[in-house]
Amino acid sequence: MTQTYYTELLELNKDFVDITTALYRLKTFDQEELAKICKDIKSKMIETMKYTPDMILEMILIAAIHNRRYCKSYNAIYKNIFKEYSTLVDDKKCKQLNSLDLLDVNEGETIHRAIIDDDINSFLFLTEKYGFNKDQMLKYNFYPVKQGGYSLLELCCYHGSVNCFKLLRSKFDSEITPECLNFSFLSGNPSIMTECLNFQRPGEECMQYAIISHNIDFVTFLMNQYNLKIDLISCFKFHNFQAFLIYLDQTNDINQCFLYSSYFKSPRLFQYFISHGADINAKDSNDGMNAMHFAAINNQMYNVEILLSLGFDIKTKSSNGNTPLHYAALYNCIEMVEYLFAHGADINARNNIGLTPIYSATGQNCCRIVEFLISHGAKLYSKNEENFTPLHHASVLNCKEAAVVLLNHGEDINEISTVGMHSIHYAASYNSIQMVEFLISRGADINLKINNNTAALHIAAEKNYIELAEFLINHGADVNIKNRVGFTPLHRAAFLNHPEMIKILIKHGADIEAKDSYGYSSLAQAAINNCKEAAELLISLGADVKSEYLVVAAFQNCKEAAEILISHGADVNFKNSEGSPALIIAANHNSKEFTETLILHGADINLKSKSSLTALHYAAKTNSKETTELLISHGADVNAMNRDKWTPLHYAAIKNSKETAELLISHGADLNAKSSDGLTPLQYAKILRKNEVKELLISHGAEDISLPWCRL
C-alpha cells in the first residue's frame, strides 16, 4: 500500500481516528475538553448513524479499563452520553454506569491511591510502615483481568507511575514480570518501558497492549524491532484504525482486511478494498465467515447491498452453518435482520447444530428481533436434533424478556428435550433464579422431573446453589423428592460435600435418614465420597451412625470419613452382608493407610470373612507388599488357613507374588503347608508355572515333591 493510499484511507476515517485516539489516550480532567469529546462523539459518530449509543458506551468502558487513572473523566463522558440517549441504550449499560460510579469513590491514603497518583512521598511513607509487604498482590475491579491480582510494580507500569516504579526497583529489587512489560506499552512511560525491555522480551500480548494504547509508534516499534505481527482482531476490538492500516501495509493481505473492514463502519473503506482487487468471496481461515457475515454483525446494510449487487448469496453459511441472518440476530442488529429478510434470507435456516436465527436472538435477549422473526414465520418449535427449543435456550441464558415473547406466542413451557430436561431444569442448571421464578409464574411444575427423575431441587443441591435451593423450597419444591436411584437432594449435597446446602435442606425438613435404592442414607453417601465436613455435620444434626457405613467407606478408601464414623461409635469389626469386615476390604484394595487406621482403632487383625480368609490372605492375594508388612507387624497370623486350608503363602504362590511371598517366608510362613487338596505352595507354583515364586520357594528349602498325575 502506497503512502498516498494510507493518507487517503486515514483521511476517510479521520473523525473515527480522532475520537478513538482522544478516548484511549485520555489525559485530562478538564471539563471543557471532556465536553468537546462528548460533542464530537454525538455529532460525528452517533448522529451520523455510524455507531449506536450502546456501541459508544461500550467503547468508553473498554478505554476506561485500560486507563484507570482517569476513571472520573470517563465517568463524566459516559454519563453525558447515557443521559442524552438513555431511551436508546440497553439496560446493562446502567449497571456499567454504576461500576464507573464506584471508581469515583475516594480510596484514601492507600498504596493503590499512591501508585495511581505517582505520589512518591505517600508511597515511601506507606512502604516504611510496619508490616508492609513488598510482594503483596492487589486485586481491584476495573483492570484487565488477571488471576491472582497484580504486584505493586505491575500496577506502577499500568499507570506509568515512574517514581513509584523506581523506588520499588531500587529499594526492594521488585521483579519485572512479562505483565510489567505489557503494561509499560499501555501507559507509555519511556523510562519504565526501557527498564522492562532490559529484562523481558515482547510477545503477542505486548503488541495487543501497544494497540490498545493507540500510540502508533509503539506498534511500529514492536513490528520492526521484534518482528511481531499486528493482531487484526485487537485492531477492531480496541478501535485502532491506524494499526489496521499498518497491518495492511505490512502484509498486503487485502482480503483479510476486506473481511474485517465492516468493523470500522465505513462504506467507503469497504468500497476501497473491492475497487483494489479484494476477493469478495474470501473467507476467514478460522471460522469460514465471509464479507456478508461480517457486514451483518456490524449492521452495515450498505456493504450487504454492494455484495448482493455483485451476486452474493444472501443464504451463505460460515463453517458452523450460520447465515448472515443468524449473525444479525445474534448481534441484535434489527435493521439488518429486516433488510436480510426483505431480500430473501431464510428465516428458518439451520446451522450445523440445528439452531435457527430465532435461537440467536433469544440467546441475546433481543426481544424486538424475536418478535420480528415470529411475526414473519419463524417456527417456535424449530427444535434441533436434541429437541432443544428456543425457550430452553432462553432458560439457559437467563433471557427472561425473550422468554416472555416466546410464551406469549404459544411456545409450550413443558416441552422436553432429548436429554429429558424442561425449561425449569435448564434454568436451575445455570442458577437463573429470576428465570426459574418467571417459569413458575407461568405454570412450570416446580417438582417436574427429567428422564432420570431428577428435579430442579436436586440440581440446586448438586451445584450448591444455596439461594436457588431456598427459593425452590419456599415455592413448594418437595425437599425429599427422589430421583431414579432414590437419591434425595440431601443425598446429593452429602455426596458432594456441600455443608451449607445440607443445613438448608435439613432446616426445611429434609429426612436425614432417607434411604436411596441401595439402602444408603445421606451419611453413607458422605462416607462413600470421603466427605469429612458433610459427615461431621450430618452426625451433629442427628444422623444415625451405622457400622455398615464403615465397610462402605473401606471400599472407596475413605480414611477421613472412616475416622469420623469410628469416633462416633462405628464397630471396626462389623461384617457386611457378605461377611467381610472393613479391614479385609481395605487389605483387598491395598489401602495401607485405611488398614492402619482400622488397626489403630482396635480392628481384629485375624478376623475372617465368610470364606475364612483373613486380611493377610487378601493382601497376599493382591501382592500388596506394604499392606502385608503392616499386617504382619501388628500380629497377623502368617499361617492362618481358610476353609480350604490355604495359607497366605498359597495365595502368593498362585499369583506369582514374589515380594509378598518373600516377606511371608521371612516372618515364618510354613513352606510346606498343605491345602485340603494336599498341595503345598510350591506345588501350586509348579502346576501354574509361576516360575519366580517357584524358584524362591525352592531356594528357601521348600520340599520339592513331584506329582505323578500332573505333567510339570
Domain ranges, ordered by start, for the chain? 3-103, 111-200, 253-379, 638-699
Cβ neighbour number for residue 180 with a 10 Å cutoff? 25
H helix and E strand count, the chain: 44, 2
Q: So what's the pLDDT on residue 86?
A: 87
pTM of the model: 0.81
What pLDDT does residue 147 have? 77
Q: What is the pLDDT of residues 82-139, one digit of tens each?
A: 999 988 777 666 666 666 655 554 455 689 999 999 999 999 999 999 999 999 998 8
CB neighbour list of residue 636: distance below 8 Å, 6 or more residues apart: 605, 606, 614, 615, 616
Please report the DSSP string for 526-541 in residue order: HHHTT-HHHHHHHHHT
Superfamily of domain 111-200: Ankyrin repeat-containing domain (1.25.40.20)
In sequence order, what are the residues at sequence separation of 6 or more whose Cβ sits closer than 8 angstroms to the Cβ of residue 561? 526, 527, 529, 530, 531, 532, 535, 553
Residue 300 and residue 163: Cα distance in Å, rounded?
Answer: 47
pLDDT at 105 (0 to 100): 47
Q: What is the pLDDT of residue 425?
A: 96
pLDDT at residue 316 in the model: 98
Q: What is the dihedral of CA 332, 333, 339, 344, to 10 degrees?
A: -40
Please report, for residues 139, 634, 711, the alpha-carbon distance to residue 175 in angstroms, rounded to integers and kept in the order given.
Answer: 18, 54, 75
Q: How far from chain centre, in Å, is Cα 76?
A: 35
The answer to whether the CB of 49 falls within 8 A of the CB of 12 is no
Give the separation between CA 142 and CA 147, rounded to whole angstroms.
14
- pLDDT tens per residue, range 589-639: 989 999 999 999 999 999 999 889 999 999 998 888 899 999 999 999 999
Sign of the four-CA dihedral 101, 102, 103, 104? positive
> Which pLDDT score is estimated for 711?
41
Looking at domain 253-379, its CATH superfamily turns out to be: Ankyrin repeat-containing domain (1.25.40.20)
**What pLDDT shows up at residue 114?**
95
For the chain, residues with pLDDT lower than 50 are: 105-106, 710-712
Q: Please state, in angstroms and rounded to a whole number, the distance separating the CA atoms of residues 608 and 339.
A: 82
**How far is C-alpha 287 from the geometric centre of its chain's CA atoms?**
23
Fold equal for 253-379 and 638-699: yes
Q: 638-699 has which fold?
A: 1.25.40
Question: Which helix H or strand E contains 137, and what residues bound it?
Answer: strand 137-138
The whole-number pLDDT of residue 100 equals 62
Question: What are the E-state strand segments in 45-120?
Answer: none
Per-residue pLDDT at 414: 87
CA dihedral 511, 516, 518, 521 (to 10 degrees): -30
Angle at 335 between CA 331 and CA 341, to 5 degrees: 95
Q: What is the DSSP string of 602-656?
A: T--TT---TTS--HHHHHHHTT-HHHHHHHHHTT--TT---TT---HHHHHHHTT
Rounded Cα distance, 239 and 213, in Å? 10
